[in-house]
Structure 1
Amino acid sequence: MKKITVISASILLLAAAGSYAAPKKQKPVKIGIAKIVQHQALDDVERGVIDAIKDAGIEAEYDLQNANGDVGTAAQIANQFKSKKVDAAVGIATPIAVALATTLKTTPVIFGTVTDPVGAGLVSTLEHGERNITGMSDAIPTEQHIQLFKEVAGIKTLGYIYTSNEDNSASALELVKKGCREAGIELVTQSITKSDEVKQAAEAIVNRVDGIYLTTDNTVFSAIASLVNVFGKAKKPIFSGDVTAAKEGGIFMASGFNYYKAGRATGEIVVQVLNGKKCTEIPVRFMTDPSDSDFLIDLDVAKKCGITVDKKYIDSANMIFQNGKLTEK
């Protein structure tokens, strides 16, 4: 009888040891990522978010969505994320971020590439997040860009196309107006509401301006090829606040941060939230490090437009497009 008791105890100890040796594997976290429209810059943000989360050692399942420029679709995506009970939701660009913030009241919402998060009503201050919302802003130095455009290309009249029904674009328009006042140049604007209006807007404005400036308007960039074609035929220069679109040629100058790095910065915020940090403890992040930005000059376009670019600008650019080829320094 005593021998049986000892054997039984040994079996129980082995069973217990076995249960501790093979702990139950944790389920992957569920992350919803939505962008307002598909184009290279926003695709790079999405990729950067995913890579940052992966590099942090977090196993995740992703629900990747594209609103195709439609606010109604953005609202449907937000409801989908809510019904699926994602652990965190990432909104790339202002309209989709607003849709997520409106619908998801307890799920962390991390916005990426939102130019004016305060103006969009996502947060009330840039010093910290609000409720369940925080993220990364893609504000660019618009006034400095316009001054640089004037210095290099000698423009006296600047064109600007913007999406009238987007908070992001309305905020950018005010900065463009200010930049033109400070630079002493005339501003000619043309509004659109959807991407298939970009070509028509470009045609309406091209003969009234010396060049055109582009901020980070996603609706405009989703149809950038048509705008580049119109201004290319007219031999009028384009200055872009998004370098991504300029890498294929056709845009005279571009200065802005690297969108993949912006995605990684957004992903790092997601990691903080998943590791237990509250959104209210995380300030809105900006891409302020010089290494985060690129400066591109297209010498093929300069030649076509009859612009002679001073050597100091060429030397300061880390990307040069010439003879149909992009070279990175």
Structure 2
Amino acid sequence: MKRREFIAIAGGAAAGWPLAARAQQPGRVYRVGWLSIGSREQTIHIIKPFEEGLRSLGYRVGENVVIEYRFADGEMDRVPALAAELVRLGVDVITTGSNANTLTVMRLTTTIPIVMTNSVDPVGVGLVSSLARPGRNVTGFAQDTGGELNDKRLELLKEALPNLLRVGILWNPDFTPNRNRLTSMNKPAQAMGLTLVPAEVLGLDTLEPAFATMVRERAQAFVVLSEPLLANYRGQIAAMAVRDRLPAISTTREYAEAGLLLTYGANLPDQFRRSAAFIDKIFKGAKPADLPVEQPTKFELVVNLKTAKALSLTVPPTLLGRADEVIE
């Protein structure tokens, strides 16, 4: 195999060169911008597979690729300044993770390629024109592009709790896709004989009132409509769920590892590992507008038996048998 073209830390002026021309320069070191709402500690589980994905394609971090990491440490108001810093550095591509990060970077540049690694409903919120033809400087991965996954989570919660009638929905109304998510859950909930109890969370100080709402409205369990804000609070959410004796389900294994009873969704480490392929194609001259947005191919069900024990619940054997991972 021929030696790869390299990606780079220096030479800010070169950021203005046409990408295809830069990709043809052997020995060049490129810079990848990484923009995260969370902290390094909260995202290390996805940083490692991302770097492994690059390594599998011939890129060596610190040698022919340098990653400019920027972490907002859960403070969303820091994101615009961090994004602007990456743009000023003239990085060759920016990975953005969430919708909010992607929108922030899109406002700052129409030329630097953006790889969104974990977007929600990117067409609906205007990140791309279509999944097949993004049409801008943005491509990458989408999850929860429809309501099927949240329907499945309701089904799993009902299977774990056969007498379930009232389900809390912990959600952030400021996250645009959540309104469609909540609306789409009504019909399947009714078909399952479930009444939904929405509880809004706008920040850490609103978690307690949200749980008070679910308890007051006699919710027997709840679903977390995950997005970056609530993902940052997953530890607190899990602790409150056990305290109030409320079984819960959310999207990714990180919530189960934090202490929620169940999670079902995309395998994020796998998704971040695969996102390296988008960067590789862009470095070889591909335009983000022409790279179709991909959806997860690997989903996993995780059951936390420690939490089940704390809640005095017996998880049905049928559910345990289908679990990809059981935390004991």
Question: Shorter-normalised TM-score: what interval?
Answer: 0.7 to 0.9
Q: Is the 8 A contact 1:253 1:298 kept in 2?
A: yes
Q: Is the 8 A contact 2:238 2:255 kept in 1?
A: no
Match of 1:278 in 2: 287
* 1:305 matches 2:311: yes
Write the distance in 1 (CA, Å) between the matches of 2:97 and 2:187: 27
Cα deviation 1:138-169 (Å, max 9, x = unaligned): 22711111122112212211111112212243
* 1:76 matches 2:84: no
Pairing of 1:200-219 with structure 2 (within 5 A): 200-207=209-216, 208-219=218-229
- CA spacing shift, 1:148–1:25, aligned 2, 3 Å: closer
Write the distance in 1 (CA, Å) between the matches of 2:42 and 2:322: 23
* 1:108 matches 2:113: yes
What SS does the aligned partner of 1:212 have? Answer: strand
* 1:147 matches 2:150: no
Write the distance in 1 (CA, Å) between the matches of 2:241 and 2:42: 21
Match of 2:274 in 1: 265
- How many residues in Structure 1 have an aligned counterpart in Structure 2? 295
**CA RMSD, Structure 1 to Structure 2 (Å):** 2.3
Match of 1:17 in 2: none
Match of 2:253 in 1: 243
Match of 1:158 in 2: 167
- The aligned amino acid for 1:311 is P
Match of 2:91 in 1: 86
Report how far residue 275 of structure 1 moved. 1.4
Q: Is the 8 A contact 1:42 1:259 kept in 2?
A: no
- CA spacing shift, 1:62–1:293, aligned 2, 3 Å: same
Cα deviation 1:210-243 (Å, max 9, x = unaligned): 0011233221121122222222122221112211
Q: Is the 8 A contact 2:40 2:71 kept in 1?
A: no
What SS does the aligned partner of 1:285 have? Answer: coil
- The aligned amino acid for 2:265 is G
Write the distance in 2 (CA, Å) between the matches of 1:46 and 1:174: 33
Report how far residue 314 of structure 1 moved. 1.2
What SS does the aligned partner of 1:256 have? Answer: strand
Q: Percent identity?
A: 18
Select which of 175, 180, 183 maps to 2:192: 183
Which consecutive residues of structure 2, in runs of 5 or more, have no partner in the other structure?
A: 1-24
Q: Is the 8 A contact 1:34 1:65 kept in 2?
A: yes
Q: Is the 8 A contact 2:159 2:319 kept in 1?
A: no
Write the distance in 2 (CA, Å) between the matches of 1:99 and 1:33: 13
**If the length of structure 1 is used for normalisation, what is the TM-score?**
0.82
Write the distance in 2 (CA, Å) between the matches of 1:170 and 1:243: 24
Report how far residue 202 of structure 1 moved. 2.2
**Higher radius of gyration, 1 or 2:** 1
Richer in helix (by share): 1
- The aligned amino acid for 1:64 is Y
